[in-house]
Amino acid sequence: MRLFEFLILTAESLVGVVEATGDSDDGRQPIIIDTDLFSDVDDVGALAIANVLHNCGLADLRGIVLNTPSHYGALAASALCTYYGNDVPIAAFRLINNDTFFDSFYYLYGEYASKLAYHWPRKLDSAFSTPTPVELYRTILSSAKDKSIHIISIGFLTNLADLLKSEADHISPLSGLELAAQKVSELIIMGGEYPSGWEYNFGGIDPESTAHVVHHWPKSVNITYSGSELGGNIFSGQSLVQRLPPDSPVLSAYQWYVGRGSTLRPSWDPITTLYGVLGLDLPSKIGVRPMLEYGNESGYNSIVLANGSNVWINDTDITNQHWLRLVDGANYSMAALLDEFLSHDPSLKSCFRYDLLSENAKDMPMFVGNRGIRGKTGHVE
Ligand SMILES: [Ca+2]
């Protein structure tokens, strides 16, 4: 099978892509990313994709909030955004600490956050000078158009729970719950397993916050879940060493984290971020075949407080919650598409590199995944 044969649509599909529909005045989809950038490198992939989509005029990256306490996470996020030419507001988790990642589970994966923080230029001088996550959430939401923001959660849900619990303050007369209901058009969460299971983002650190967000999120606002079974079966980053310059922080982070000469990694957070900006309608936004669909029509997610596991409850009256699944046969296409974003030149302001897609398709080796080496349920912290 030709790797890209389903990726590339006709030239006619490109028309109007630059003016892709969005919820902000300029057609960009406004997003806030809530990340645990610290250990697994798929958060780097997610921030790379968000910055690329921002530069391509499809996303409006309004802010990044950290849900892990190491100050290296905030600094690394700033280094990544700076590399893509973007000065994005960042909020460090409190209390801030000086931890560096050590893989005490597999003794295999490497640390990258402190290295990104100190070997690439960054706009942010210190994590201590940032607002708190709740302050940044409230500031961005209070100034946003109604029903405009997509929040993309690719880590723990502590900040979102704190946002929902926040009261009126000097930033906004609205409570956090009211801000979410009024300003957010969709919450996209990488977490859980569907229709049921246990996953680290939900149950690993702060299941109480997971339950609070999932059970108290306003019913008028859509939630879309990206489960461990989705990104865990799609391996991206295979060709980064051939396609990125040696000074790329994305390449370096993947090399440091995965190690052993590989940059191949499951795609939990990159897929979630891609959907969080573009939704299901990939053909109209970037001119590629549909790759994602909803796995359910109705019902809702429920969290077992004791351990953060989730189970889908069937209920035809509730239609604001969905989980994502891959369209049949789209595994290789999705991996190849993610690789396009991960290897995107920061100076290129278009996400439509069809000549390159075709060119790469001729030479790209067939997908080789190290399946089984680790699932999200074995997420290293
Ligand atoms: Ca993550």
Ramachandran class of 329: left when φ > 0, alpha when ψ lies in -120 to 50, beta otherwise: left
Three-state secondary structure string covering 198-267: CCHHHHCCCHHHHHHHHHHCCCCCEEEEECHHHHCCCEECCCHHHHCCCCCHHHHHHHHHHCCCCCCEEC
Distance 276 CA to ligand 1 centre (A): 14
Distance 153 CA to ligand 1 centre (A): 8
- % of the chain residues with pLDDT over 90: 80
Please give the average per-residue pLDDT across 77-83, as a whole number.
98
CATH number belonging to domain 29-343: 3.90.245.10
Neighbours of ion ligand 1 (CB under 5 A): 36, 43, 154-155, 269
pLDDT > 70? residue 336:
yes
Which pLDDT does position 283 carry in this prediction? 82
pLDDT > 90? residue 26:
no
Distance 167 CA to ligand 1 centre (A): 27
Distance 155 CA to ligand 1 centre (A): 4
241: pLDDT confidence band, cut at 50, 70 and 90?
very high
15: pLDDT confidence band, cut at 50, 70 and 90?
very low
Distance 24 CA to ligand 1 centre (A): 26
Distance 376 CA to ligand 1 centre (A): 10
Contact of 320 with 223, CB cutoff 8 Å = yes
Give the pair of three-digit tokens for residue 176. Answer: 């956090």
Distance 36 CA to ligand 1 centre (A): 5
pTM over 0.85: yes
